Amino acid sequence: MNRAFPTWWSRRKPSPTKRTDLAHPEMQRMVGTWGEQLRWAAQLPRPPGPSLDQLLICGMGGSGISGDFAAALCSKPLRVHKAYGLPIWAPESQVPVLAVSYSGNTEETLSAVEAAAAAGLRLAAVGSGGRLLEQARSEGWPFVEVPAGLQPRAALGYLLGGVLSLLGGWGLSPIGASELSAAADIADSMVDKSSPVRREASDLAANLEGHMVGIYGSEGLVAPAAQRWKTQINENAKWPAWWSLFPELDHNEVVSWSSLSHITRDKVALVALRDREEGPRVAARVRITASIVDGDVNWVGEVWSRGERPLERLVSLAVMGDLVSLELARLAGVDPVPVEAIEELKQKLAEERS
């Protein structure tokens, strides 16, 4: 089924809470550059390189999600690693490694680069600077330098574009300028201040207010969008959220809501992300799951992708998640830009290392 617009419903209205008129113009501005970023990416060349049949993408947080997006869009095997070092299988397989770090100084990603270099693996990089690009230049690795000055989580268009540029040169991605430009048009139409999407995002956030938020997606194209919704709600709204995927969640999570239903029916809200290509059995699972958990959680609704081609549909879900996360930040009265707990953690880790 193809839906022109996201749809949502609410089984019960949220409890009224204190609201704020904070507009958070800085993060609003960053989210508004989605189209600009994708058009920048559309102009990138595809650097010629060896034809590859596999790739390991290493990155964390707002940088690493670009690898998840790329893996969902490409037909050849791409694996994403979000930890120190490398997976145990990587050195022996001689898999090429693409390191993605917006700052260029992400501790875990630099650890993966060090391990890959020690194992003699082919390396490439995407980032805005830092130690990663310094090393790429000095070692002669292929790299894409993206524009600096944004929060990493607000630079996904740049980072994904840089990743896809390198993948295209290696024969791993069919996505070119026309797909990126079409996705940019979708993004621009959604972030425009006069767009009805803004109202939809505001209404959805109002029904999520006061709840722990679960994002339900499905394996394939929608999976990284569900992950992105979760992390954007975490970082922008400073709000607890998690993500789960059909059909796996129907083998465990679906049975988890009854024991504490006196709590979860008022404190947990679920949103399902939907796509025209999800398949009839997944569609049936979404419908039946909603009926089973009704009464135990607040099933707030579903959001459908927009556009025709996979990149457009994936970007549309990501942009909607960004807008909802900013609305939740407004409702919570928090500034979406700073991530103080993350910075404190990094500082304490640095102190322990020294």
| Per-residue pLDDT reduced to its tens digit, 170-203 | 999 999 999 999 999 999 999 998 999 999 999 9
Catalytic residues: 235, 251, 346
What is the CATH code of the structural domain delimited by 194-332? 3.40.50.10490
- Listed residue (300, 158, 308) closest to 233, CA to CA: 300
Q: Look over the chain and give the mean of its residue pLDDT values, rounded to a whole number.
A: 92
| Per-residue pLDDT reduced to its tens digit, 109-120 | 999 999 999 999
Question: Residues 14-24, buried b or exposed e (16+ Cβ, 10 A)?
Answer: beeeeeeeeeb
Where residue 23 falls among pLDDT bands split at 50, 70, 90?
Answer: low
CATH of range 30-180; options 2.60.40.420, 3.40.50.10490, 1.10.10.10, 3.90.550.10: 3.40.50.10490
Considering the chain, tell me which residue range(s) the CATH 3.40.50.10490 domain(s) occupy. Answer: 30-180, 194-332
- Region 220-245 average pLDDT: 97
- Listed residue (277, 263, 276, 216) closest to 242, CA to CA: 216
Quote the pTM value. Answer: 0.92
Strand ranges, E, within 23-122: 55-58, 78-81, 97-101
